[in-house]
Amino acid sequence: MSLAKRDEWIIIGISGVTCGGKTTLANKLLDILSPVYIFHQDQYFYPDDSPHHIKCHNLDHNNYDILSSLNMSLMYDDIVSTINGDNKSQDHNLDRSHGKIEVKGKKFMIVEGFTVINYKPIMEICHLRYFFVLDYATCLNRRVYRLYDPPDIDGYFDQCVWPEHLKYRAEVEKDKRITILDGTRHDSLETVLSNLASMGSSKVL
């Protein structure tokens, strides 16, 4: 699929550790940028009974923390369709009211999910790339308060969630184009807005 219209966009990839702040940051950007379209990776999981799923070692549970558990080719196709004018996003905000952030002649796209920038086709079309990190204890403490469908079973975090995160994090840390964000800090939005300012963003008057 053609990416001829990519230059009309600023594409922001937000990835990283579970419970690290990805969706919170993405939703803040959805509120403040104009015009903006958003994709959530968790909308692309294969059905639970899909043959694409791989069981966790020694657990009767699908491993949902690997790229193969998601239909990433469909996600990429939806992103490219949207770039080319056929909107497939999960949400968008076209409001251009006072105080919104814009870049003249550009539209914003936010692509959010735990491994979106580990998927090379999406990684390469992003203009800005961010990856959230947490330490083990903080991540586990946050995750126990989340409800998942299907729910986590005993051992899933230690055998799948955390090891897979470390694997994907190691890949990301080799690429200097990616900004690492500390999920315990509260300045991630300011970091993104600073980067956008360097690309010519301004507030709608």
Catalytic site positions? 42
Alpha-carbon dihedral 87, 88, 92, 95, rounded to 10 degrees: 10
Residue 101 C-alpha from the chain's centroid: 20
Residue that the structure tokens 């010519």 belong to: 200
Question: CB-based contacts of 64: which residues, under 8 Å, 6+ apart?
Answer: 45, 53, 160
Q: Read off the tokens for 24.
A: 């919170």
Q: How far apart are CA 31 and CA 33, in angstroms?
A: 6
Q: Are 29 and 109 in contact (CB under 8 A)?
A: no
Q: How far apart are CA 180 and CA 65, in angstroms?
A: 20
Residue length of the chain: 205
What is the DSSP secondary structure assignment for residue 62, as one 8-state letter?
Answer: B
Number of neighbouring beta carbons within 10 Å of residue 26: 23
